[in-house]
Amino acid sequence: MEWTLIAFVVTVVLVASTAQTLVGFGFALIAVPFFVAVLDVKDTVALTTLLGLVNSALVARHAWRHVPWRTVSWMLAGSLVGMPVGLAVLLFAPEDALRLGVGASTLVMAAALASGVRLGDSSIARELGVGLLSGVLNTSTSMNGPPVVLYLQGLEHPPQSFRGGLAVFFTAVSVMTLAAFLATGVVTLFAAGLAAAALPAVFAGSFAGHALLTRVDPVLFRRLVFALLVAAALSAVGSSIARMAG
């Protein structure tokens, strides 16, 4: 395992974990487009799931008392239904198509989040639908956050409830996804080794994020996150097209 690759992964994880701790989401959205530029898609998804689980659990540890449990429970039920579909895509879709899909999905999701699109008022049907879409995205690309973020933003929960709901949802979904990945052989020793090497960066990013919570303008930070997402997504799309053309 090359030290340059490890250093790159550690840097991305540090930025992604800091971002998620600050705004409640963004770990996979930031990490996946960068990882997919240097790793195959399966290792990217497995690595992001392993590290994202730890990061989400750290956020949930501080915010679980404020979780909107009814909403989160229905979304988890929908996600459980969607996961097998996404897993089938990950296992059987061509590598280059998956890589291009990751980049394109990141661009669409970043644009939706930046524009403040809302997915409607609270209802069980919407929560199941949001969870279903999130489950498909989670096991195919590891980027399950945007549908849930958009839905919870539309409900206008207080910041603590918003962060807590996201953290608990991401933690529970990551546990279920990791179990599915282990059962189907998606998690390789290479991905597990990279995750172990980058694990300290998750804790460092969590610490940095909590330290910055009261010192950083959240609006400015979100803009910086979106700019980073777009840059990463464009890179992923460009490299995917070049691979397919070549």
- The residues near 168 (Cβ < 8 Å, ≥ 6 apart) are 60, 63, 64, 67, 72
Catalogue the E-assigned strands of the chain.
none
pLDDT tens figures, 178-212: 999 999 999 999 999 999 999 999 999 999 988 88
3-state secondary structure of 236: helix
pTM over cut 0.95: no
pLDDT for residue 192: 95
DSSP 8-state code for residue 4 = H
At position 167, the amino acid (one-letter code) is A
Residue 23, both tokens? 């705004």
Q: How far is CA 169 from the centre of its chain?
A: 11
Q: Which domain holds residue 167?
A: 3-245
pLDDT tens figures, 146-184: 788 878 877 877 777 887 888 899 999 999 999 999 999
Whether 100 and 48 have beta carbons less than 8 Å apart is answered as: no
Number of domains in the chain: 1
Residue recorded with tokens 């464009």: 234
Residue 86, both tokens? 């996404």
pLDDT for residue 27: 87
- The residues near 53 (Cβ < 8 Å, ≥ 6 apart) are 170, 171, 174, 175, 178
> Angle at which helices 27-35 and 95-115 pack, to 10 degrees?
150
When the pLDDT of each residue in the chain is averaged and rounded to a whole number, the result is: 84
pLDDT for residue 10: 96
